[in-house]
């Protein structure tokens, strides 16, 4: 198959590279000439493990090209994927579809009859129908099909997710379009990965419902963690106990400072807004959005408590600022709430992150960047473990504590056993949902009641 991939952001680039590895001929197109030049030179503008090698291999094999010329990308194409951004719209939280609609109009002006136009971007229910109407209005005589093909890629594991998916979802209205999609994903059909063929609206809703449900699991366990701190329970044991129930499962039950990233915050807001617009408010999703912000504020409060309720003129070492390990993505990261709150209260913040410095330097301009955890902790008053990169999972804790001015540790990802931290010399420790953190004197009474 010949495929045009419109947009070389996270979704477009990963999808284009992986489809070329399936054996298709893929042309990725973007209006950013500087980005295209970098891609042609074999430089990946995002951090995603393994993507650079896969991209270079398929480019050298002649299956993958990059261009700023949409007409070139569409020439002879069987399908054109629209994979442009849909950021949250200011004011109401709905998805901004301006980039999708602009791409649809551009495709319509240059498309040939029979082209299958696939919306890969995450869009609210009803958007694919709007895209079809926009294309028809722009090119009334064009014969085309529209397909919704949402992505389910985890940053840091995107290649494996594409090559070994839990499922592939596509929605369309014609058997011809369905046949093209089956040909595109034939390697996955042959390996018996689940393929969900449905209508446009259901495909759109599957994406939003999945992300909202996962965000709900994270928020649920964070609320349970706050309760565990009051009554003396250990949220790690609670997570393990409920996760063994096959109806619940263990994933996304790790307590922390709230979810972030490019999907969950944006998609929950967009889903809630869509529901409000049609008069069916989603009370659970709306509560999840509010509770996630509370989790971030609670993390700030923990750090203040660790520092005797004041961080003024104190040096805080923050380990990790990307929204999760394995990515350089800072979008909606809890660090963007927590670090500015510390700086606003007078703290001097040092940051170390294996991949977050390029994006983080612009988003956190008042911090000092260090090369490793030990440099960040030298003469510091407290260490805050905010993102659980592997580099922070096996620290030499005595060395870390030995270089500090006061030995205080906020483990906001529950990476280390409390006994190990105490044995290393830390005299003040806070975590999330573990015994002794924020526990009231009447906790035993509350538990008994």
User: Does 442 appear as a known binding residue?
Assistant: no
Q: Where are the alpha helices (DSSP H) in 64-150?
A: 70-74, 98-110, 127-138
- 75 pLDDT exceeds 50? yes
Catalytic residue among 18, 172, 228, 263: 263
- 447 pLDDT exceeds 60? no
Q: Are residues 173 and 286 in the same domain?
A: no
94 within domain boundaries: yes
- 441 pLDDT exceeds 50? no
Q: Tell me, what CATH number does 307's domain have?
A: 3.40.50.720
CA distance 271 to 286: 9
For 211-268, write each residue's pLDDT tens digit. Answer: 999 999 999 999 999 999 999 999 999 999 999 999 999 999 999 999 999 899 999 9
**Backbone Cα Rg of the chain:** 24
pLDDT-based confidence at residue 43 (cuts at 50, 70, 90): very high
3-state SS assignment for residue 215: helix
Question: What pLDDT is attached to residue 436?
Answer: 58
Range of the domain at 346: 232-430
Exposure of 274 by Cβ count < 10 A (0-12 exposed, 13-18 middle, 19+ buried)?
buried
3-state SS assignment for residue 388: coil
| 315-319 sheet: strands from edge to edge | 368-369, 348-352, 315-319, 382-385, 408-411, 428-430
Q: Are residues 280 and 180 in the same domain?
A: no
Q: Are residues 39 and 142 in the same domain?
A: yes
How much is the pTM?
0.91
Kindly report the average pLDDT of the chain as a whole number: 94
Question: What pLDDT is attached to residue 439?
Answer: 38
221 within domain boundaries: no
381 within domain boundaries: yes
pLDDT-based confidence at residue 445 (cuts at 50, 70, 90): very low
pLDDT-based confidence at residue 435 (cuts at 50, 70, 90): confident
Which of 267, 284, 129, 279 minimizes the C-alpha distance to 206? Answer: 267
For 117-144, write each residue's pLDDT tens digit. Answer: 999 999 999 999 999 999 999 999 999 9
227 within domain boundaries: no
207 within domain boundaries: no
User: Does 24 appear as a known binding residue?
Assistant: no
- Which CA distances in Å does 105 have to 26, 36, 398? 21, 22, 60
CA distance 123 to 274: 11
User: Does 251 appear as a known binding residue?
Assistant: no
Torsion of CA 178, 183, 184, 187, to 10 degrees: 130
- 91 pLDDT exceeds 70? yes
Q: Are residues 179 and 242 in the same domain?
A: no
Q: Are residues 266 and 412 in the same domain?
A: yes
Domain edge (last residue) among 198, 222, 244: 198
Phi, psi (deg, nearest 5) at residue 168: -115, 130
pLDDT-based confidence at residue 448 (cuts at 50, 70, 90): very low
User: Does 331 appear as a known binding residue?
Assistant: yes
Q: Decide if 443 contacts 230 (C-beta within 8 A).
A: yes
446 within domain boundaries: no
Q: Which of 13-17, 292-296, 387-391, 438-442 comes out lowest in average pLDDT?
A: 438-442
User: Does 274 appear as a known binding residue?
Assistant: no
- Give strand ranges (E) for 273-330: 315-319
Is 263 annotated in the active site?
yes
Q: Are residues 16 and 164 in the same domain?
A: yes
pLDDT-based confidence at residue 443 (cuts at 50, 70, 90): very low
For 374-411, write each residue's pLDDT tens digit. Answer: 999 999 999 999 999 999 999 999 999 999 999 999 99
- 314 pLDDT exceeds 70? yes
Q: Are residues 289 and 363 in the same domain?
A: yes
Q: Are residues 82 and 188 in the same domain?
A: yes
Q: Are residues 257 and 378 in the same domain?
A: yes
Q: Are residues 139 and 282 in the same domain?
A: no
Q: Are residues 167 and 246 in the same domain?
A: no
- Provide the number of structural domains found in the chain: 2
360 within domain boundaries: yes
- 322 pLDDT exceeds 70? yes
Domain edge (last residue) among 198, 223, 257: 198
Which of 142, 108, 146, 104 minimizes the C-alpha distance to 129? Answer: 146
User: Does 254 appear as a known binding residue?
Assistant: yes
3-state DSSP percent of the chain in helix, strand and coil, to 5 = 45, 15, 40
User: Does 164 appear as a known binding residue?
Assistant: no
Question: What pLDDT is attached to residue 440?
Answer: 35
271 within domain boundaries: yes
Q: Are residues 119 and 31 in the same domain?
A: yes
């Amino acid at each position: 198959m010949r495929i045009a991939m419109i947009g070389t952001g996270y979704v477009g680039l990963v999808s284009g590279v992986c489809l070329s590895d399936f054996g298709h001929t893929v042309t990725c197109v973007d209006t950013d000439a500087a980005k295209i030049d970098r891609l042609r030179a074999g430089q990946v503008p995002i951090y995603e493990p393994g993507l650079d090698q896969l991209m270079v291999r398929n480019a050298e094999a002649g299956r993958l090209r990059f261009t700023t010329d949409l007409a070139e990308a569409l020439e002879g194409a069987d399908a054109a994927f629209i994979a442009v951004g849909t950021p949250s719209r200011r004011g109401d939280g709905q998805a901004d579809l301006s980039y999708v609609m602009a791409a649809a109009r551009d495709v319509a002006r240059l498309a040939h009859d029979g082209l299958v136009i696939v919306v890969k971007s995450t869009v609210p229910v009803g958007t694919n129908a709007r895209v079809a109407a926009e294309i028809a209005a722009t090119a009334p005589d064009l014969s085309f099909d529209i397909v919704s093909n949402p992505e389910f890629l985890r940053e840091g594991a995107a290649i494996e997710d594409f090559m070994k998916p839990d499922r592939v979802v596509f929605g369309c209205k014609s058997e011809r379009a369905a046949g093209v999609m089956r040909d595109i994903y034939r390697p996955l059909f042959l390996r018996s990965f689940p393929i969900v063929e449905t209508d446009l609206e259901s495909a759109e809703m599957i994406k939003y419902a999945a992300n909202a449900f996962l965000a709900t699991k994270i928020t649920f366990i964070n609320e349970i963690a706050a309760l565990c701190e009051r009554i003396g329970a250990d949220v790690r044991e609670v997570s393990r106990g409920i996760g063994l129930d096959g109806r619940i499962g263990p994933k996304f039950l790790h307590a922390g400072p709230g979810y972030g990233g490019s999907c969950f915050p944006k998609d929950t807001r967009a889903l809630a807004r869509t529901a409000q617009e049609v008069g069916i408010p989603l009370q659970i999703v709306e509560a999840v959005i509010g509770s996630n912000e509370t989790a971030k504020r609670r993390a700030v409060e923990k750090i203040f408590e660790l520092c005797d309720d004041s961080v003024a003129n104190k040096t805080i070492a923050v380990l990790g600022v990307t929204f999760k390990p394995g990515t350089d993505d800072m979008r909606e990261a809890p660090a963007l709430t927590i670090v500015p709150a510390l700086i606003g209260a007078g703290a001097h913040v040092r940051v170390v992150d294996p991949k977050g410095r390029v994006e983080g330097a612009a988003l956190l301009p008042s911090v000092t960047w260090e090369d490793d955890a030990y440099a960040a902790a030298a003469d510091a008053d407290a260490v805050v473990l905010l993102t659980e990169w592997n580099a922070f999972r096996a620290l030499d804790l005595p060395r870390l504590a030995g270089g500090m001015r006061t030995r205080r540790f906020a483990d906001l990802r529950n990476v280390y056993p409390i006994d190990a931290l105490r044995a290393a010399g830390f005299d003040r420790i806070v975590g999330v949902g573990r015994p002794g953190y924020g526990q009231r004197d009447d906790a035993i009474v509350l538990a008994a009641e």
